Amino acid sequence: MLIQEPGKITDRIDFLGTHKNGLFLLKGEEAMIIGGGMSWTVPSLERQFSAMDFDFKKIGYLVIPHSHFDHCGAVSYLKRKFPSMQILASAYSKEVFSKEKVVNFIATANKERMEKLGLGNEYERLNLQFDGIQVDRVMAEDDIIDLGDGIQAQFIETPGHTKCSLAVYVPRLKAMFPSDSAPFPTEDGSELSPPSPQYDFSLYLESLRKLAACEVEVCSFEHHGVFVGDQAKNILQQGLERTEEFKNYVVEQYQHIGDVDKVAQKLAAEAMETTESPLLTLELQISVTKTVIRNILG
């Protein structure tokens, strides 16, 4: 089953934010937020936090799975709201967040998205200015955060989508949080989106094989929902197959058309037909698709 609306997933996992841009609350004796969202998700977060019967003093950690602007834009807000929590990310994410140009880009992209969605007043009212990220603890392969009560968050390095990508796996719950390291559901949930190996295609495949080897009964994506039960068991393997199929399709299209720019335009237009995302313009989709094509073609 695919759950696309935020709410309770299990006694230990809450789906927060929006189905387009989700975060997750993982609960043991302590709690951990997984995902950094965007500023435009904050009004939803505020309503969700207000409605929850939960001791928010238990939130000790926030995981940033990778450094893209749509996965960390709400971190400044969350840190102000829960100042005692530690920010966890990969070593390369920490390096990225130390660059002034990156901080300015994330801040601008998030503010512009708020304004485009007509949420400019909320941006000011909720103090959503992105003012950088201080990573408190660098996480690497097989590192574990013990939240107590049998809930351990195990970190998996998953480079490919980005150099800095991390996934989180919780063995007791058989719960995977892959972020964008695997193809996520399309907007309508009818299929999996094309893969997005924006850094390295070979590493993306290698990372996805690692994730697919885990036993999974809950697979929580930060875009478009959470798979549970029987569908969750095979969704990462299906993502691996989807990735191989996409590679073959890209190669076929390039052999037929013979021009990377034209192939990118064609594939981007096809992607936009299945995704109504407030995050992507056609121009940005073409740029991302071109990078993916070049990584596949080598």
Query: Two tokens at 161?
Result: 């989508």
- CB contact at 8 A, 128 and 114: yes
For residue 94, the model assigns a pLDDT of 97
The pTM assigned to this predicted structure is 0.93
For residue 276, the model assigns a pLDDT of 57
62 pairs with which residues across the strands?
33, 87
Cα angle 213-219-224, degrees, rounded to a multiple of 5: 135
d(CA 84, CA 209): 36
For residue 287, the model assigns a pLDDT of 87
d(CA 38, CA 54): 23
End-to-end CA separation in angstroms for the chain: 36
Residues 144-189 have pLDDT tens digits of: 999 999 999 999 999 999 999 999 999 999 999 999 999 999 988 8
Domains and CATH numbers, the chain: 2-242 (3.60.15.10), 255-297 (no CATH)
For residue 278, the model assigns a pLDDT of 54
d(CA 79, CA 65): 16
For residue 275, the model assigns a pLDDT of 61
- In terms of Cα–Cα distance, which of 157, 155, 138, 135 is closest to 146? 155
For residue 274, the model assigns a pLDDT of 66
d(CA 65, CA 181): 9
d(CA 82, CA 153): 20
The ranges of the chain with pLDDT < 50 are: none
Look at strands 175-177 and 218-220 and give their pairing.
Answer: parallel
